[in-house]
Amino acid sequence: MSEKTTPVLRESATFDRLTIQEIQRAAETGIYDIRGGGTKRKLPHFDDLLLLGASVSRYPLEGYREKCGTDVILGNRFAKKPIHLKIPVTIAGMSFGALSANAKEALGRGATIAGTSTTTGDGGMTPEERGQSQHLVYQYLPSRYGMNPDDLRKADAIEIVLGQGAKPGGGGMLLGMKVTERVAGMRTLPIGVDQRSACRHPDWTGPDDLAIKIAEIREITDWEKPIYVKIGASRPYYDVKLAVKAGADVIVLDGMQGGTAATQEVFIEHVGIPILPAIPQAVQALQEMGMHRKVQLIVSGGIRNGADVAKAMALGADAVAIGTAALIALGDNHPRLDDELKKIGSAAGFYDDWQNGRDPAGITTQDPELSKRLDPIEGGRRLANYLRVLVLEAQTMARACGKSHLHNLDPEDLVALTVESAAMARVPLAGTTWIPGSQY
Amino acid sequence: MKTFDLGNTTVRDLNQALHDQAKTLEEREWLVTHPDGAHNLAVGVNEAVSVDIQGHAGYYCAGMNQKASITVHGNVGVGCAENMMSGYVRVKGSASQAAGATAHGGLLVIEGDAGARCGISMKGIDIVVGGSIGHMSCFMGQAGRLVVCGDAGDALGDSLYETKIFVKGKVESLGSDCIEKEMRPEHIEELQALLNKAGFNEKASDFKRYGSARQLYNFKVDNACAY
Amino acid sequence: MCGIVGLYLKNPALEPQLGKLFEPMLEAMTDRGPDSAGFAIYGDEVADGWVKLTLQAASDDYDFKALVGALEGKLAASLDWFQNASAIVLKIKAEEAAVRSALAELAPDVRIMSAGKSIEILKGMGLPKEISERFGLGSMKGSHIIGHTRMATESAVTMEGSHPFSTGADLCLVHNGSLSNHFRLRQELRREGIQFDTENDTEVAAGYLAWRLQQGDSLKTALDSSLEALDGFFTFAIGTRNGFAVIRDPIACKPAILAETDDYVAMASEYQALSSLPGIEKAKVWEPVPATMYIWERESAQGART
Write out pLDDT tens, residues A301-315: 999 999 999 999 999
Neighbours of chain C (3+ CB pairs under 8 A): A, B
Neighbours of chain B (3+ CB pairs under 8 A): A, C
How many whole angstroms separate alpha carbon A29 and alpha carbon A267? 18
The answer to whether position A325 is within a domain reads: yes
Residue B221's pLDDT is: 66
Q: Which residues of B touch A124 (CB under 8 A)?
A: none
Instruction: Verify whether residue C172 is a known catalytic residue.
Output: no
Residue ranges of chain A whose CB lies within 8 Å of a chain C CB: 200, 205-209, 211-212, 235, 238, 241-242, 245
The answer to whether position A238 is within a domain reads: yes
Of A176, A188, A223, Cβ closest to residue B123: A188
CA distance A208 to chain C (A): 5
- For residue C304, is pLDDT > 80? no
Tens digit of pLDDT for each residue in A314-357?
999 999 999 999 999 999 999 999 999 999 999 999 999 999 99
Of B39, B123, B221, Cβ closest to residue A215: B39
* Contact call for B39 and A152, based on CB within 8 A: no
Average pLDDT over residues A160-169: 94
Domain that holds residue A215: 48-331+374-425
Tell which of C5, C31, C269, C272 to mutate to test the B interface (max B CBs under 10 Å): C272
Residue A209's pLDDT is: 95
| Confidence band, pLDDT 50/70/90 cuts, at residue A23 | very high
Q: Is B133 helix (H, G, I), strand (E, B) or coil?
A: strand
ipTM of the complex: 0.96
Give me the percent of chain C exceeding a pLDDT of 70.
97
| Confidence band, pLDDT 50/70/90 cuts, at residue A116 | very high
- For residue A425, is pLDDT > 90? yes
SS (H, E, C) A123-183: CECCHHHHHHCCEEEEEECCCCCCCCHHHHHHCCEEEEECCCCCCCCCCCEECHHHCCHHH
The answer to whether position A87 is within a domain reads: yes
Average pLDDT over residues C74-87: 92
Radius of gyration for chain C, computed over Cα atoms and rounded to the nearest angstrom: 18
Query: Which chain C residue has the Cα nearest residue B114?
Result: C287
- For residue B187, is pLDDT > 70? yes
Name which of A92, A94, A135 is nearest A116 in CA terms: A135
Cβ–Cβ contact C234 with A under 8 A: no
A189 with A175: CB under 8 angstroms? Answer: no
Q: Which residues of C touch B78 (CB under 8 A)?
A: 255
**Residues β-bridged to residue A152:** none
The predicted model scores a pTM of 0.93
Query: Which chain C residue has the Cα nearest residue B73?
Result: C281
| Confidence band, pLDDT 50/70/90 cuts, at residue C112 | very high
The answer to whether position A157 is within a domain reads: yes
Q: Tell me, what DSSP letter sits at residue B224?
A: G
**Mean pLDDT, all residues of chain A:** 95
- Amino acid letter for position B216: L
- Residue A283 burial (10 A CB sphere; 0-12, 13-18, 19+): buried
- For residue A404, is pLDDT > 80? yes
Residue A440's pLDDT is: 55
How many whole angstroms separate alpha carbon A408 and alpha carbon A398? 8
Tell which of B14, B20, B82 to mutate to test the A interface (max A CBs under 10 Å): B82
Name B122's Cβ contacts closer than 8 Å, sequence gap at least 6. Answer: B100, B101, B102, B103, B138, B141, B142, B143, B144, B146, B163
- For residue B100, is pLDDT > 70? yes
The answer to whether position A213 is within a domain reads: yes
Residue B224's pLDDT is: 65
Give me the percent of chain C exceeding a pLDDT of 90.
82
Pick the CATH number of C46-116 from 3.30.70.100, 1.10.3720.10, 2.40.70.10, 3.40.50.300: 3.30.70.100
Residue B226's pLDDT is: 63
Tally of domains in chain A: 1
The answer to whether position A436 is within a domain reads: no
CA distance A246 to chain C (A): 9
What CATH number is attached to the domain comprising A207? 3.20.20.70
Q: How far is CA A181 from CA A160, A185, A244, B140, B216, in A?
A: 27, 6, 40, 20, 19
| Confidence band, pLDDT 50/70/90 cuts, at residue C305 | very low
How many whole angstroms separate alpha carbon B64 and alpha carbon A220? 8
- Residue B48 burial (10 A CB sphere; 0-12, 13-18, 19+): middle
Residue A197's pLDDT is: 83
Q: Which of C1, C2, C220, C221 is catalytic?
A: C2
Q: Where are the domains of chain C?
A: 2-45+122-297, 46-116
CA distance C16 to chain A (A): 32
| Confidence band, pLDDT 50/70/90 cuts, at residue C301 | very low
The CATH architecture assigned to C2-45+122-297 reads 4-Layer Sandwich (3.60)
A97 with A122: CB under 8 angstroms? Answer: yes
The answer to whether position A365 is within a domain reads: no
**Mean pLDDT, all residues of chain B:** 96
Name which of A209, C24, A202, A141 is nearest B39 in CA terms: A209
Cβ–Cβ contact C235 with A under 8 A: no
Cβ–Cβ contact A204 with B under 8 A: yes
**Residues β-bridged to residue B208:** B167
| Confidence band, pLDDT 50/70/90 cuts, at residue C61 | confident
Name which of B206, B181, B113, B100 is nearest B145 in CA terms: B100
Residue C306's pLDDT is: 27
Q: How far is CA B129 from CA B4, B145, B146, B166, in A?
A: 28, 11, 8, 10
| Confidence band, pLDDT 50/70/90 cuts, at residue B227 | low
Give me the percent of chain A exceeding a pLDDT of 70.
99
Name which of A323, A255, A283 is nearest A90 in CA terms: A323
Tens digit of pLDDT for each residue in C174-190?
999 999 999 999 999 99
